Structures are given as structure tokens and as C-alpha cells.
Amino acid sequence: MISAFNYPTEIKGKRKLYSLLKGVKNPLEVISGNHEIAGDNYYIKATLTNKNFIFSQDKEFIEYILKQNHKNYFKSEIQSFTLGKYLGNGLLTNNGKDWLKQRRLIQPGFSKIKIASLVSIMEEEIDAAFQSFDKEPEVDLNVFFHTLAFNIVAKTLFSSDIDENKVKELGKIITEVQEVFAKEVRLPFYSQILKIFGVIDKTIKKSKKSKAIIQSVLDKRRSSGEEKNDLLDMLIQARYEDTQLPMSDEQLIDEMLILFIAGHETTANALSFIFFEISQHPEVERKLKKEILEEGEGVFTPESLMKKSFTSNVIKEAMRLHSPAWAIDRQALENDSFQEYSWPKDTLIILYITGLHRNPRYWNDPNSFIPERFDDENAKNFAFYPFGAGPRLCIGEHFAMMEMVLIVRKFYKNFRFISYQKELEKKALVTLRTTSLKGKIIKNLT
């Protein structure tokens, strides 16, 4: 039967079987391999679920889905349902009018002015964490950055209303949820096995426990009557435009849980990749230290942290080579077409950001670490979307960039990092992470 739709090149036969099985453990290897075979856009039909998938690392196609025709695309059921059953109905999993309503309510809390007011909280956490380097010069920076980023989110969200043990418990639960979610998504029939063995029910219980922790913090804040000018205060005081009512506790907790995950996970993973790349490129480290010295006393001010700089170029280039948000998924609400391709409603679109960021069509020497490429006056038009694009551009982009610039500068003002690893093992879950970054911290002599 001839299809009424004109899909991109189809992956089929043995390669399709390989893709469906191997894609569970090594999605980057499989998707990159398929793009090498089929080009920047390809199609695959999942045999068991009968679902249509289009994968793309084409800049124009990606911009069409995320920008020009974004109204025809929801976050797919992968996130809205599968992840939503664990994390609730926050910005990450929500769709349509409900999502827009929440986005408008929360957006003011992430303005540049609001984020600038959080620098002192971030500094306090960073300085406290860096003290451990004097006693323990050997470190796994991947573990270190996950703890630090999580603590920063905890303090900027909750000030001092959550103790360290609860922060650790939340971190553990979030990691376990990601592991189960990744298995469900990669191999849909495997979710039945997880269900039979009670894994899904156990994970939902853990998720409820994390929400109970956040509820206790919320109750504590309300009973104290204190105002702390943190993100929790902003969320409590926010009112919907149409009704002037606040968020329900359930919605408030869902949003805080999402902010916890989005606010620490991608940042911690990005930092591991950033520090690895700096450790492999001594000339980049020298240039970074020179900039820190030249910035003088203003090096940690919000103005200096937020402006275009070599530090921000280093961060962008590391996020290009190792994109924490390695893929973006969307689901077509209606039949659609772009250029010569067409597809039916419900088609799942996987925008392969890792492939886009290393696509030789858009990048010279795409696999090399060259921070200076972002000095280009046309950099804002690069095929570069580490925080997504369009109306669903990550709400925490400025928060994350300021935090990362601050951490990089604070570290390299006082220390050096010698990596024991020449390569990083990558693990693609909801976000791309490395399994470890072991090395030695050396204090500057001057």
C-alpha cells in the first residue's frame, strides 16, 4: 500500500531491529548512526506500538517544529504522560492552555533582575562547597557538581527551610525516577515488565515521598509567616491574571519538583562536561584565568556574570559538544508538512540536538572544542539550542548561565583541575550525563 504521506528516508530491516533494541542502552550511538545512513531527517515505524517517528538534526526542520508551527505540537505523551505520572503537571510535562497559564505565572521569577538578586545565595553555597578541596584534593567532580547544583536550587527555592538530609533524599529519588523513566521510554513493552514486578508502583511511591518533603517545606514557610524573597515566596504570592487566585498546593508542589529537577540536573551535567573540556585544553584555561584577572573586583557581579565573555563562550562550546538536553520530543496534533516531507497527526518528532550541534553542515571542525567560535557576530543565529527554542525555551536559561559562569570563575580564580580521565563515558537518560569525572584539585600558588 502506498503511503499518503511523504516521510523522510525510512530506517528498516536489520537496521530497524538494531535501532529498536540497541537504542535502549546507547541512543546517541544509534541515532547518530541512523543519521549517517539516512541524512539529517529519517523515519522509523515502531513495529509493536505502530507509532511513527521522525528524527531530525536539520536546523530548518527543528525551527519549524519549535518556532514557526509550534502551535501544532505538544510535548509528546512520552513526557506529558509517562514522566507526568511521576512528576505531576508542572511546566516540563504540561501542555496547551494550562502550560501557557503556568508559564505566564512563573516567568517573572526568572527575570534577569530577579536572578541577579540570587547571586549572594549562590556564592555562599559555592564558597562553602569549595572549602572541601583543601582537605580532599582528589575528587569526582561529577558527584560534587550534582550536590552543589542541587544545594543551590534548594537554597534559591527554599532559602534555609530545607535541611541537608532532605536535600540528599530528594536528589536520590529524582535519580531513581529518571532511571525507571528512561527504561519505559526506550522500550515501551518493557514497561509491562516493570509494571508486573511492581517497579512502577514503587517509583510512584518514591515520587509521592518527594512531594511530601516539598509540602512540609511549604507548610513550614506558611506557618512561620516569614518572607524570604526566594523563588518559593514568588510562587506562593503569584496570582493568575483571570481569577487573581493563587496556585493550588498540588500545582505549587508539582512546579517546585520540576524546578528542582530542571534547575540542577542539566546544570550539574553541563558543569562536568565544561570542566572536563577545560582540563583537556590548557590554552583555554590560561585564557580563562586571564579574563578572571582582568575583570578585577567586578568579576562576580551580576553585570559581569551575565555579559558575553570568554567564560560564557567556554560554557556554550562545552554545551554544544555535550548537550545535556540531548533531544527534544514533540507530537503532531494535526497532519503536517515541511518542504518535501509530510506526516500524519500523532507522529512523534524527535529533534536530535546532539546531532544538530555537531552537524558539519552548520559547524566547521564540529568535533573540536573551540570556544572562540562564539565570538562570531552571527553566533546568535548558529544552529545552537542547548535550552530549546520558541515559546517553550527553558525558563531557567539565565539562571543556569549565571550560575555556571559564577562556578567556573570562582573555581579557576583559586584552583586548577587535573582530570584523571581522557575520555568521558556518557549516559543518555532524560538528560545527558557522565558517570564520573575523577581528578585532582590544585590550589593556585598566587
Q: How far apart are CA 62 and CA 325, in angstroms?
A: 14
Selection from 73, 8, 71, 74 nearest residue 45 by Cα? 8
342 exposure class (CB count in 10 Å sphere: 0-12, 13-18, 19+)? middle
The yes-or-no verdict on residue 184 having pLDDT over 80 is: no
Selection from 214, 194, 189 nearest residue 204 by Cα? 194
Residues in the chain: 446
The yes-or-no verdict on residue 181 having pLDDT over 50 is: yes
The yes-or-no verdict on residue 143 having pLDDT over 80 is: yes
Cα 27 from chain centroid? 17
Going by C-beta distance under 8 Å and a sequence separation of 6 or more, which residues neighbour residue 97? none
In the chain, what's the furthest Cα-to-Cα distance? 74
Q: How far apart are CA 54 and CA 7, in angstroms?
A: 8
The yes-or-no verdict on residue 189 having pLDDT over 70 is: no
What pLDDT was estimated at residue 438?
A: 96
The yes-or-no verdict on residue 263 having pLDDT over 60 is: yes
What does pTM read for this prediction?
A: 0.92
Contact 207, 173 (CB under 8 A): yes
More reliable by pLDDT, 132 or 1: 132
Amino acid at 328: I
Going by C-beta distance under 8 Å and a sequence separation of 6 or more, which residues neighbour residue 410? 123, 126, 127, 130, 300
Residue with cell 540497541: 22
Contact 34, 19 (CB under 8 A): yes
Strand segments (E) across 181-313? none
The yes-or-no verdict on residue 70 having pLDDT over 90 is: yes
Q: Break the chain into its structural domains and give their ranges.
A: 9-443
What pLDDT was estimated at residue 204?
A: 87
Per residue in 389-406, pLDDT (tens digit) is: 999 999 899 999 999 999
Task: Give the angle subtended at the CA of 327 by the CAs of 321 and 330, to the nearest 5°.
Answer: 155
More reliable by pLDDT, 113 or 3: 113
* Per-residue pLDDT band at 55 (split at 50, 70, 90): very high
What pLDDT was estimated at residue 1?
A: 47
What pLDDT was estimated at residue 77?
A: 75
249 exposure class (CB count in 10 Å sphere: 0-12, 13-18, 19+)? middle
Residue 345, number of CB atoms within 10 A of its CB: 12
How much is the mean pLDDT over the chain? 90
Going by C-beta distance under 8 Å and a sequence separation of 6 or more, which residues neighbour residue 243? none
What's the grid cell of residue 389?
527554542
Distances (CA, A) of 177 to 85, 204, 275: 11, 8, 27
More reliable by pLDDT, 323 or 174: 323
Q: How far apart are CA 125 and CA 408, in angstroms?
A: 14
Q: How far apart are CA 316 and CA 319, in angstroms?
A: 5
More reliable by pLDDT, 2 or 157: 157
Q: Tell me whether residue 211 is annotated as binding.
A: no
3-state secondary structure 352-409: CHHHHHCCCCCCCCCCCCCHHHHHCCCHHHCCCCCCCCHHHCCCCHHHHHHHHHHHHH
Range in 1-5, 106-110, 266-270 with the lowest mean pLDDT: 1-5
What mean pLDDT comes out for the span 61-67?
97
Amino acid at 417: F
Q: How far apart are CA 103 and CA 92, in angstroms?
A: 10
CATH no. for 9-443: 1.10.630.10
